[in-house]
Amino acid sequence: MKTCLIVDDSRVIRKVARQIFEAIGYACEEAEDGRKALDACTAKLPDFVLLDWNMPVLNGLEFLRALRLLPGGDKPNVVFCTTENDLSHIQEALGAGANEYIMKPFDADIIRGKLEQLGLIES
């Protein structure tokens, strides 16, 4: 089973995202900040990371840069999922190695669409 790490400091968002990913067939883990997410990735790399931007301790962008430096850290598909919705943030995220970008609010259709574009599920 493919694995997904959901990184967001909001418990509600993590729960909503978990439901969407479990329905698609992913085994989900959760982390409430970038540091805990990085610890999880150091222990075992997930196939997919859904990543909030603004979080305490280590933010999403800092986490992503650190992840990409881990051995095999270039492999996971990382999709930002954040309220930051301006072009400069999107460009910064892509520059740091994000594979896709979702601007909140999101729904299951948007997540499914992004997974289709990344070739992770069939349309």
Partner 1 sequence: MKPEDFELFSTLVKQRSGLVLTAEKSYLLESRLFPVARKHNMKSLEDMAQALRAKREEALMFDITEAMTTNESFFFRDQKPFTLFQKTLLPHLLTARAGKKQIRIWSAAASSGQEAYSLAMICVEEAAKLQGWKVEIIGTDLSREMVARAKGGIYSQFEVQRGLPVAHLVKYFQQIAGDKWQIKDNIRQMVQFREGNLLTDFGVVGPFDVVFCRNVLIYFDLPTKTRVLATISGMMPTDGFLILGGAETVLGVSDKFKVVPGEHGLYMGASCDVSLISGARG
Quick one: CA torsion of 36, 77, 66, 97, rounded to 10 degrees? -140
Window of 46-54, 59-67, 68-76, 98-106 that interacts with partner 1 by CB under 8 A: 98-106
Cα 102 from Cα 78, distance rounded (Å): 11
49-88 binders of partner 1 (CB under 8 A): 85-87
Q: Which pair of tokens denotes residue 23?
A: 């329905």
State which of residues 90, 96, 108, 121 lies at the interface with partner 1 (CB under 8 A). Answer: 90
Q: Which residues bind partner 1 (CB under 8 A)?
A: 85-87, 90-91, 94, 100-103, 105-106, 109-110, 113-114, 116-117, 123
